[in-house]
Amino acid sequence: MNKPKVDYNNKLQSDFEGMIERLDLEQSGKDYLKLRWLEQVLWMEGKSNKMRDRHQSGRKWTIVLSAILPIIVLLNFNEDKIFERGIKVATVAISSAIAIGTALEEFHQYGKRWYSYRRASELLKTQGWQFFQLSGAYRTYENHRQALPIFSEQVESIIQRDVEVYVTEGMQQIVQSEETTSPAQLPSE
């Protein structure tokens, strides 16, 4: 019997919201958990999944087209000039598609971004689980009210690191783009 497919992010949100509501915290603490921590977890999860799908889709197309290309090149119908011309056009088109796909993947860096979002999401979830259980960095606290300021610091630190990585990688991408597209410098006399 097939079970209905449950959207992971919806289930994650529902489960965490239920856990948050059961914590002995003031409303402002619960609001922080929902509006900052949980929203970031869900956002990172969504971005991670989107980057994973784009990365894997692009890689699959590159693999398939790369496998087809040598087969097309080996086709030889010397007597049929129209078919031979079609083979040449197909070869050029597939080669171009592979080159464009590879360049787009390198430019957008879906694989790196997938890893970065996945890492941040998992770090945030780990902090959340440790906070809920008062374990890890929170094991010395008697209750969630005492642990909340440390949890908040940890969450903000993870978010800040993620933003710094994003900005740094973005700047590196701009510099690399400028280096590859700027005209060659002529030697000075």
pLDDT exceeds cutoff 70 at 134: yes
pLDDT exceeds cutoff 80 at 79: no
Phi-psi region for residue 145, left (φ > 0), alpha (ψ -120 to 50) or beta? alpha
Structure tokens at 71: 């087969």
Burial of 116 (0-12, 13-18, 19+ CB in 10 A): buried
**Stated pTM of the model:** 0.76
- Per-residue confidence (pLDDT) for residue 77, from 0 to 100: 64
pLDDT band of 82, cuts 50, 70, 90: confident
Q: Taking residues 22-37, what's their average pLDDT?
A: 97
pLDDT band of 185, cuts 50, 70, 90: low
pLDDT exceeds cutoff 80 at 186: no
String of DSSP letters for the chain: -PPPPPPHHHHHHHHHHHHHHHS---HHHHHHIIIIIIHHHHHHHHHHHHHHHHHHHHHHHHHHHHHHHHHHHH---TT-HHHHHHHHHHHHHHHHHHHHHHHHHHHHTHHHHHHHHHHHHHHHHHHHHHHHHT-GGGTT-SSHHHHHHHHHHHHHHHHHHHHHHHHHHHHHHHHHHHHHHSPPPPPP-
- Per-residue confidence (pLDDT) for residue 84, from 0 to 100: 82
pLDDT digits (tens, 9 = 90+) for 151-184: 999 999 999 998 887 787 766 666 666 665 555 5
Query: Of 2-11, 39-48, 111-120, 141-150, which gets the smallest average pLDDT?
Result: 2-11
Top pLDDT among 57 and 80 is at 57
Residue spans of the domains in the chain: they are 26-175
